[in-house]
Amino acid sequence: MTQTNKPQQKSFWVGLLSGGISGALAICVTYPTEYLKTQMQLYEERSRRGMFNCAADTVKRYGPLGFYRGLDTLLYFSIPKVGVRFGVNELCRKELFTDNSRSAIFMSGFISGIFEALLVVTPMETLKVKLIHDRFQEVPKFKNFFHGVYMIYKQEGFKGMYKGPLATVARQSSNAGIRFLTYDETKNFLEKNFDFLPKSAILMMSGGLAGAVNVYANGPIDVVKTNMQGLDAQKYRNSFDCGYQIWKKEGIRGLYKGSVPRLTRLVMDVGLTFTFYEYVGDFISSKLSKH
């Protein structure tokens, strides 16, 4: 397996902190595209109308702030989510997969995705999807994030906030494995062949491409996950039944609903996250080395 020069790995705690800060910054910039993606995956008619019509309708009905419904949910969870992703990845690269081969990079990301899915992403995505889905009901039930959490727990218990774990683990593990591998390969290529580019451009381009690859590599998993966590999840026996019903009713296009806003968000989000992570991590490491 092809190997490259091994970069200096950060510690688990530096990765955890740097990732958390980077995740919070990135989600604040990219959340409107996440909002559009989710409603297009939940509503077939909105998917048919396209992202720009959905955006125009959101502004008309709720104003510009309508794009940020459910942001608090993601913001509360993004810090630990991205922190766990990068922290576990650094730990795996440092302790388990030390040869820096492509398989090592992929497996480190894959394992970090499993941890973030089980510890953070499943409840985060469940709450986010239900809050956005509730927004489009004739009579919304949830007044805000905390009221939504209270009502979901009151009506469904803990299981109501932990929907679709299988689909979420499948998405996050494949996401992270593909993402870290694509990022490392692209970054190494750009540094070797386009060394005149500034560091920030190389990081942003490498992360952006990693995000784009994610969209089409596991788009159907993301659609299934969203529907398994929505208010109508009781229609499906399990994740496999959900995917089958979507495919039977809408064909292969149904399994890629929301791809355009998801592509827009992930190119920006992953690019920004990796860029912030490198700079924030270097800053924290330099401060710690002085003490």
pLDDT cut 70: percent of the chain above it:
94
pLDDT at residue number 2: 43
pLDDT score of 59: 86
> What is the reported pLDDT for 147?
83
Q: How far apart are CA 13 and CA 98, in angstroms?
A: 18
* 262 to 50, 72, 213, 251, 287: CA distances (angstroms): 12, 19, 11, 19, 36
**Residue 173: pLDDT over 70:** yes
Res. 113: pLDDT tops 90: yes
51, 20, 53: which is closest to 263 by C-alpha?
51
Average per-residue pLDDT in the chain?
83
pLDDT of residue 189 exceeding 80, the answer is: yes
Give the model's pLDDT for residue 187.
Answer: 95
CB within 8 Å of 96: residues ≥ 6 apart: 107, 108, 111
Q: Are 109 and 176 a contacting pair, CB within 8 Å?
A: yes
How far is residue 234's CA from residue 221's CA, in Å, rounded to a whole number?
18
Q: Where are the domains of the chain?
A: 12-289
Q: Is the pLDDT of residue 19 over 60?
A: yes
Per-residue pLDDT tens digits for 178-187: 999 999 999 9
Summarised one tens digit per residue, pLDDT across range 58-71 is 888 888 888 887 78
CA 268 to chain centre: 11
Query: pTM, whole model, 2 decimals?
Result: 0.73
CATH of domain 12-289: 1.50.40.10
**pLDDT greater at residue 257 or residue 119:** 119
